[in-house]
Amino acid sequence: MVYRAWAPVYDRVLQRFFAPGRTTAVRILALRPGERVLLVGVGTGQDLPLLPVGVSAVGVDLSEHMLRRAEKRLVESAAAVELAQGDAAALDMAASSFDAVILHLVHSVVPDPATVIAEAMRVLRPGGRAVIFDKFAPEGQPLSPARRVLNLMTTAFGTAIDRRLGDLLASAPCRVISDRPSLLGGEYRVVLLRRNAVVPGPTSAAAPHS
């Protein structure tokens, strides 16, 4: 796995670069004491020091090597944090069990980002919030030849640059609350989502058993 190689150097190479985007994303998520938050793709735990006191958090990552790094950051977090190995596309968690979800730099590295969104919405309670910090291709225009070629190279290092947020959210049960440009002139964005509230339908009589 590419992130086994990345784990020892990830923080040293990328922590400072991504810090402004991570900080903005957690700030606009506006976590409150008593809330439960899920960090999907927690990686080396760079978001853990940003979590406020009174919050309980679960950080999930597929890479055990990344999680070992994240364990060292537990003492830096004011929140109560539990770490677990798991697949972002198949979370081993109950539906509607979190008040908020953090998705930082996940959708550009997973094979099926739309499924990751669907799973995040499944475990998020109706009316809950999710925040995405990641890079996305521009909406409403074809990918340029240069971007297609560059994507072949970046994918070899574990990250894609050809994914559009609109495509990922097309069938997701949520709405965009805010969409802010972040790093590299807006190549990276911070997007706040709210899970749709469940609207009760008319009660129907159960079909008789045969």
pTM: 0.85
59: helix, strand or coil: strand
- Given a cut of 90, whether residue 178 has pLDDT beyond it is yes
Q: pLDDT band for 153, please (50, 70, 90 cuts).
A: low
How is residue 12 written in tokens?
């040293």
116: helix, strand or coil: helix
Strand 188-195 and strand 174-181: the pairing is: antiparallel
What pLDDT score was predicted for residue 152?
56
What pLDDT score was predicted for residue 108?
87
What pLDDT score was predicted for residue 160?
74
Distance between CA atoms of 181 and 16, rounded to whole angstroms? 18
What pLDDT score was predicted for residue 95?
97
Distance between CA atoms of 45 and 77, rounded to whole angstroms? 10
Q: Are 122 and 174 in contact (CB under 8 A)?
A: no
- Given a cut of 60, whether residue 7 has pLDDT beyond it is no
- Given a cut of 90, whether residue 208 has pLDDT beyond it is no
> Which one of 129-133, 152-156, 160-164 scores highest in mean pLDDT?
129-133
Give me the DSSP letters along 82-99: EEEE-BTTB--S-TT-EE
Q: Are 83 and 66 in contact (CB under 8 A)?
A: no
Q: pLDDT band for 93, please (50, 70, 90 cuts).
A: very high
C-alpha distance across the termini of the chain, in Å:
51
Mean residue pLDDT of the chain comes to: 86
Q: Which of 23-37, 89-103, 151-165 has the lowest mean pLDDT?
A: 151-165
How many C-beta atoms surround the C-beta of residue 165 within 10 A?
22
Angle, CA of 116, 118 and 120, to the nearest 5°:
70
Distance between CA atoms of 116 and 177, rounded to whole angstroms? 19
Q: Domains of the chain, with CATH numbers? A: 2-195 (3.40.50.150)
How is residue 50 written in tokens?
């940003």
Q: pLDDT band for 28, please (50, 70, 90 cuts).
A: very high
C-alpha distances in angstroms, 47 versus 26, 107, 124, 130, 142?
8, 16, 19, 14, 33
For the stretch 182-198, pLDDT in tens is 998 988 999 999 999 97
